[in-house]
A and B are shown apart, each in its own frame.
Chain A
Amino acid sequence: MSKISDKINLSIPNKPEYVGVIRLTVTAIANRMGFDIEKIEDIKVAVAEACTNAITHGKNETDNFNVEFSIDEEKLTISVCDNGKGCGINSIKNPDLTLLNEGGLGVFIIKSLMDDVNINSDLGKGTTITMTKFLGDDLQ
């Protein structure tokens, strides 16, 4: 029997000033779920990176992008979805860190900090980044 997770849905304007608001929101949710500080910091950065991508690739400032939090006993899943230009999924390559590019780190960081990451993107239709962090009781 599968449990249904609690879902919180936010619709946010494509404006940089709101990314901090989302960080505070996800901090509150993760804290409430019992994540430790290190995991909360990971989640904060990962979510902000996804939101930054949504705002950067979103069509215009008057549009909104969507953040959905799925909360259940063992994990937090966050889905960030924009209506932007989209990209061919194959075009997101792992960055060559020795090249010192000023951009392109966002997806790499999300994948490094979160336990499970899924990116769905269609040219012209926008992008959804779904990421999961497990509570993972560390047995000592």
Chain B
Amino acid sequence: MSLAIRKNFNEEENIWSIELAGEVDIYTAGQLKEAFIKIIEEKKESIRIDAEKLEYIDSTGLGVLIGALKRLRQDNKNIIIFNIKPSIKKLLNITGLDKIFVIEG
């Protein structure tokens, strides 16, 4: 029922590296939104999310990701997500978001 966000800017690849651990729902989505706002303000570069420890996400979290992507797309940047658990992949598939975010692996 909690969310941990680790972020690191990769200077070599000029990309944000984010690791999400735990759950994103109505309770923690605000925290994720704040984190995205801050990093996009700091450097508007693509964001690569390691979702290996992301146990749960629903439309509240998906909405935050969509919001972040909209801002990034203004500058032709992307959101890439990898190491996604099967249940979350299914959700991205149902909502068509697997074609909106770059899904790796």
Residues of B at under 8 Å CB distance from A?
Answer: 1, 23, 25-27, 56, 58-60, 62-64, 66-67, 69-70, 86-87, 90-91, 94-96, 100
Contact = CB atoms under 8 A, between A and B. Distances in A.
A102 B27 CA distance: 16
A41 interface: yes
A109 B58 contact: yes
Interface in A44-64: 44-45, 48-49, 51-52, 55-56
Interface stretch (A12-20, A74-82, A116-124, A128-136): A12-20
A23 B56 CA distance: 10
Interface residues of A, number: 29
Interface of A: 16-17, 19-21, 23, 38, 41-42, 44-45, 48-49, 51-52, 55-56, 97-98, 100-103, 105-106, 108-109, 112-113
Contacts of A38: 86-87, 90
Given A17-B27, A48-B58, 19 more contacts: A16-B25, A19-B26, A20-B25, A20-B27, A23-B56, A38-B87, A38-B90, A42-B87, A48-B26, A52-B26, A52-B59, A100-B66, A102-B66, A102-B67, A103-B63, A106-B58, A108-B95, A109-B58, A109-B94
